Amino acid sequence: MVERLLDFSGIGRERMALRWVSAAEGQLFANTVSELTEATKALGPFDAARHGMQLAAIEHVIRAPRMRWLTGVDLHVTEKVNVYGDKIDPGEYRRIAEQAMQDEYHKALILESLKEGALSVREMAARTGIPVYTVSLKLNDLERRGEAELKGFEGTTAKFVRLAA
């Protein structure tokens, strides 16, 4: 999930690695550290300040109940049967989980952009890189969940704010 979120954000999955190495595998551990060190050097320094909004959105998604639930039931619904006696195809499950992850990431980015104050849909789109139509759809979800609301209008342009969590 974190790799996909890093790709969604534009940071890239190459910035992270997870390897399972036993304490008894000293040489493998040393080789892994050397390999990751070289890969990190090749990528160059990471500017966390430049990606602050994306990193905060990734953290929000990882903590989201929807994603935690989807991650927790993965093996159960793809290897066993669900409450209806059906088994879900692993490819279909990954597609559903990926769509949910992207939806949650977009909502989290919108909420992060609203930390700076009231914004229009177009301003949110410009700050997040999310298409205007998608911002509008996700903003509707955030309003229904009580996380954002219409603050008022600047001329004929609607401005939205983030509500306290």
Whether 6 and 16 have beta carbons less than 8 Å apart is answered as yes
Q: Do 3 and 10 form a contact (C-beta atoms < 8 A)?
A: no
pLDDT tens digits, residue range 24-62? Answer: 899 999 999 999 899 889 999 999 999 999 999 999 999
Q: Is the pTM of this model over 0.95?
A: no
- Residue pLDDT, tens place only, 56-111: 999 999 999 999 998 888 888 888 877 788 888 999 999 999 999 999 999 999 99
Query: Cβ contacts of residue 138 below 8 Å, gap of 6+?
Result: 103, 106, 107, 110, 130
